[in-house]
Amino acid sequence: MNNNSSDGKPRDAHDKHHARKRRQRRDASKSMRSRFEREVESNRLLIYGLHTVRAALQNPERKHIGFYATQNALARLELNAEDLKVPFELSESRDLDRMVGSDAVHQGVVLETEPLQPKPLESLGDADLVLVLDQVTDPHNVGAILRSAVALGAAAVITTSRHSPTESGVLAKSASGALEMIDLIEVRNLAETLETLATAGYQTTGLDSEGEKRLEECLVSEKIALVLGAEGKGLRQKTRQTCTTLARLDMPGAIKSLNVSNAAALSLYVARQVLDR
């Protein structure tokens, strides 16, 4: 009977060697998972995805803590690990799965960073187009809205400090880099904010299925603030009463309503056409 393994080592030594390797990998994985659980609890953020991480690394307002990527993802990002100004760890895809969850499409890259600080309303300056969200809570929708806002030249997205999603990996991935390219303004009282915007010359236009006019017919100002409510509930009554205008998006097809992120993209496009005339 042959007591040697295929590589010529005694079988007992061979088995012990592989058992030790398995323990080391298991311990390393457990250590990584527990470390990141502690760090996420301490207000640190894990964002992932090639476009998302690339944009975050290029944002000077970000405070980075750690960068983790597979060799393939690092090559796709066209980055040299030695040039990064953040601690880097070459990682396996399964390690990244443990960090952010196996359902997250991390594309082989995870960035550990601190959340961005929301901007004050005063930071708007002379912006001609802003988007206001009235308790839109789904991070996928908010991320998609941020992407459309950047694409169509909005200067900021305004949300409330309550009933709005906090910055997260899901939101950042849905925004596909846009989170780093637009001001997020957080306010306590939306009605007061709309009044302030109106005083500053903005036509605060709420999107509502019962609006008297179509959106493209009622936009007349050189400064526009589009206001969108959550799916299902729409705009709250106080918000409706505070907007200077209520307008509707008419759909010619059999479906008459849109997902809030799609409605945001369409209304931003209409507003941009009006402003650029």
pLDDT in tens, 66-93: 999 999 998 998 877 777 788 999 999 9
Query: Does the residue 214 lie in any domain?
Result: yes
Over residues 218-259, the pLDDT tens digits come to: 998 899 999 999 888 899 999 999 999 999 999 888 888 889
Mean predicted confidence (pLDDT) in 148-162: 95
In this structure, are residues 10 and 4 in contact, taking their beta carbons and an 8 Å threshold?
yes
Segment 105-147, tens digit of pLDDT: 999 999 999 999 999 999 998 899 999 999 999 999 999 999 9
Q: Identify whether 59 is part of a domain.
A: yes
Total-model pTM:
0.81
What pLDDT score was predicted for residue 190?
96
Asked if the model's pLDDT at residue 29 lies above 50, the reply is no
> At how many degrees (to 10) do helices 11-41 and 93-100 cross?
40
Q: Are 159 and 185 in contact (CB under 8 A)?
A: yes
Quick one: pLDDT at residue 36? Answer: 47
Residue 157 lies in a domain: yes
Would you call 14 exposed, middle or buried from its count of C-beta atoms within 10 A (0-12, 13-18, 19+)? middle
Residues 154 and 132 in one domain: yes
Q: What pLDDT sits at residue 257?
A: 82
What whole-number percentage of the chain has pLDDT above 90?
68
Is 137 contained in some domain?
yes
130 within some domain? yes
Cα–Cα distance measured from residue 127 to residue 269, given in angstroms and rounded to the nearest whole number: 16
d(CA 37, CA 30): 11
CA gap 221, 203 in Å, rounded = 6
Q: Read off the CATH number of the domain in which 136 is found.
A: 3.40.1280.10
Mapped to the 3 state alphabet, what secondary structure does the chain carry?
CCCECCCCCEHHHHHHHHHHHHHHHHHHHHHHHHHHHHHHHCCCEEEECHHHHHHHHCCCCCCEEEEEECHHHHHHHCCCHHHCCCCEEECCHHHHHHHHCCCCCCCCEEEEECCCCCECHHHHCCCCEEEEEECCCCHHHHHHHHHHHHHCCCCEEEEECCCCCCCCHHHHHHHCCHHHCCEEEEECCHHHHHHHHHHCCCEEEEECCCCCEEHHHHCCCCCEEEEEEECCCECCHHHHHHCCEEEECCCCCCCCCCCHHHHHHHHHHHHHHHHCC
Q: What is the domain extent for residue 22? A: 11-113
Question: Which of 113, 129, 147 is at the close of a domain?
Answer: 113
pLDDT value at 45 more than 80: yes
| pLDDT value of residue 219 | 93
Alpha-carbon distance 271 to 127, whole Å?
A: 13
Separation CA 143–CA 175 (nearest Å): 4
Please say which residue of 113, 135, 164 terminates a domain.
Answer: 113
Q: What is the pLDDT of residues 180-204, one digit of tens each?
A: 999 999 999 999 999 999 999 999 9
Is the same domain home to 143 and 251?
yes
How many other CB atoms sit within 10 Å of the CB of residue 132? 28
Instruction: Please give the tally of structural domains in the chain.
Output: 2
CATH code at position 55? 3.30.1330.30
**pLDDT, position 84:** 79
Give me the pLDDT at residue 106, please: 95
User: Between 211 and 18, where is the model more confident?
Assistant: 211
The pair of structure tokens assigned to 126 is 């002379």
**What pLDDT is attached to residue 40?**
46
Q: Are residue 134 and residue 78 in the same domain, yes or no?
A: no
Q: What's the confidence (pLDDT) of residue 39?
A: 43
Residues 82 and 179 in one domain: no
Q: Which of 187, 216, 184, 222 is nearest to 201 (CA)?
A: 222
Higher pLDDT, residue 31 or 176: 176
Q: How many CB atoms lie within 10 A of CB 37?
A: 11
- Give me the amino acid identity at 263: A
